[in-house]
Amino acid sequence: MKRAVLSLLSVVAAGLVSLASPAFAQDAIPITQPLRGYYTYGKHSGVSAEAALSGAAAATTVPMGLYAVTSSRDDNRYSGVIVGRSPFFHGSRTISVPTFIVPVKVHMPGGAVFDPGVADSSCLGGKVPTTVTQNSPLFQSVAFTMNGVSIGTTQYADAFLRAEFWKNVSVTGNRFHMTLSPITTLAEQTFDVPTGEGASFNDEECDNLGIIDYNTWDSYVQGTLIPFVAAHGGGTTSFPLFVLYNVVMADPYVSGTSDNCCILGYHNSFASPVQTYGVADFDSNGGFTGVADVSGMSHEVNEWVNDPLGNNPTPAWGHIGQVSGCQGNFEVGDPLSGTLFPSVTLSSFTYHLQELAFFSWFYGSPSIGTGTTEFSDNDTFTSDAGSVCE
């Protein structure tokens, strides 16, 4: 499992999760150091892009399409796979991927409980995180405008995919889409954190932040939660999204400390046929700069769409966003981690989505996205990633 480079430096606050957890105050460990918020990804080393495409053609995994491009940044040829059909061929290409939202309640060894299924009056205005997630622009349709161009009324991942390939797909009118549908919310699951593998931490912001070990958690996802989804109508042809509430990860977790924190979300894949999935924290503690409610989910869902195996190659880029060094894959959220897209209000809740980098930012000018010189979906990038990172 390769870990992305860190940044998003912030002093972490913490989030109260369940009013039914009187153990919070006595169990929480004070945070005594600044923490870094970032996102990571898993690289599927056991299957080639060609094998993944064969699985998609045989309908044994989520639909995937091939792209191939010569980068103007280094004049080399690159190819990869994205969820849905390729935007490089004209015509009608609407694809829907069955999606399962799985809220996960986390029980810490000391007794603290972080529960996305319980109304939170302290940090979320009495709303239920799972319900707020279901009603978000990730799963509901909104009229999106990106760089002054009306994209249409759709979900954020579909809108972004259309926007980043706008010069190609706009000629098809409204016929190119990649939607998350149907959407099923499964019964909340419970993760009992093993002793020494996580704890509740506290400072003066919004009570508690849960920190758990990344690898312990991901083993639970693959070994327990993925089979649970498969037993309830999911499987390799679906996209499961596991939702935590004010719980982040450390890699590795060091018992009793907040060292190596904080992974806010990730996407991953394994096995053959390929099973893809995402994990993200619903954040209401307010302690991470440029992070709120479903922004972490928007980061991970869109990276899953554009780089489902975690290994779509690009010319090296870096020293921007959460990446302090160099990185060489097509992770559309990482260059703009901590930068928000204009907020969207739905069902009386103001949602925060992350701004994302276009395909052309990674592979080079000219931009095939919306606008004239835009290389991200809200005009932060007005040129490509530039010379190859060293």
DSSP per-residue letters across 59-78: TSSS-EEEEEEE-TTTS-EE
Q: Is the pTM of this model over 0.85?
A: yes
> In whole angstroms, what is the distance from residue 335 CA to residue 164 CA?
15
Residue 380: inside a domain: no
| 73 φ/ψ sector (left φ>0, alpha ψ -120 to 50, else beta) | alpha
Q: How confident is the model at residue 265 (pLDDT cuts 50, 70, 90)?
A: very high
248 domain-assigned: yes
* Cβ-contact 6, 40 below 8 angstroms: no
Please report whether residue 61 resides in a domain.
Answer: yes
Q: Across 217-336, where does the E strand assignment appear? A: 239-245, 247-250, 261-270, 275-282, 313-320, 323-329
In a domain, 1, yes or no: no
User: Residue 289 sits in which domain range?
Assistant: 9-363
Assigned domain for 97 exists:
yes
- Specify burial of residue 39 (Cβ count, 10 A radius: 0-12, 13-18, 19+): buried
User: Where does the pLDDT of residue 20 fall: very low under 50, low under 70, confident under 90, or very high at 90 and above?
Assistant: very low
Instruction: List the one residue out of 330, 275, 384, 267 whose CA is nearest residue 80.
Output: 330
At residue 102, the pLDDT reads 98
- Whether residue 348 contacts residue 126, with contact meaning beta carbons closer than 8 Å, is answered with no
> Which pLDDT belongs to residue 89?
80
Question: What integer best gives the mean pLDDT of the chain?
Answer: 91
Total domains, the chain: 1
Q: CA-CA distance, 210 to 208, in Å (whole number)?
A: 7
Which pLDDT belongs to residue 202? Answer: 84
Report the pLDDT value the prediction gives residue 205, as an integer from 0 to 100: 60
| 275 in a structural domain | yes
Model pLDDT for residues 81-95, shown as the tens digit of each residue: 999 999 988 666 789
For residue 285, the model assigns a pLDDT of 86
Percent helix, strand, coil in the chain, to 5, is: 20, 35, 45
Radius of gyration of the chain (CA): 20
* Residue 163 backbone dihedrals phi, psi, to 5 degrees: -70, -40
In a domain? residue 323: yes
Place of tokens 């007794």: 111
pLDDT above 90 (res 4): no
Nearest to 294 by CA among 280, 278, 305: 280
pLDDT in tens, 140-150: 999 999 999 99
159-211 residue pLDDT tens: 999 999 999 999 988 999 999 999 999 999 999 999 999 999 985 567 689 99
Q: Does any domain span residue 240?
A: yes
Of 360, 98, 338, 143, the residue nearest 238 (C-alpha): 98
